[in-house]
Amino acid sequence: MVDGGGSLRCAMLGDILAQKAVDNGWAGILMFGCIRDAEEIGKMELGVLALATIPRKSVKKGRGDSGEPVTFAGVTFRPGEWLYADPDGAVVLPQKAR
């Protein structure tokens, strides 16, 4: 879950960070912003939903928080909740689906 503020100015995820997510065992990323390198990311064992693709890189500031609630699109996502997604959208559940 990445809150990019809905920005369409630059990509917050590219193939290098996506590969790090794969290497760390992530199932997917929900990006409230843009990604780049979509063709390469699409070949990875990683589900990614984003607002758009754009080739422009972001400025790396080394900032970010983890383990914090994130709110966008009228939904608050809290640590420990489960996100399930497909190409049509996403749903958040308070516990793992059976």
Write out the two tokens for 56.
């422009």
29 is in an annotated binding site: no
Question: Which of 97, 94, 12 lies closest to 57 in space, CA to CA?
Answer: 12
56 is in an annotated binding site: no
16 is in an annotated binding site: yes
d(C-alpha 57, C-alpha 43), whole Å: 20
Question: Which of 33, 30, 31 lies closest to 10 in space, CA to CA?
Answer: 33
14 is in an annotated binding site: yes
33 is in an annotated binding site: no
23: enclosing H helix or E strand:
helix 15-23
54 is in an annotated binding site: no
Binding-site members for substrate are 14-17, 36
Instruction: Give the residue numbers of the binding site for Mg(2+).
Output: 37
Residues annotated within the binding site are 14-17, 36-37
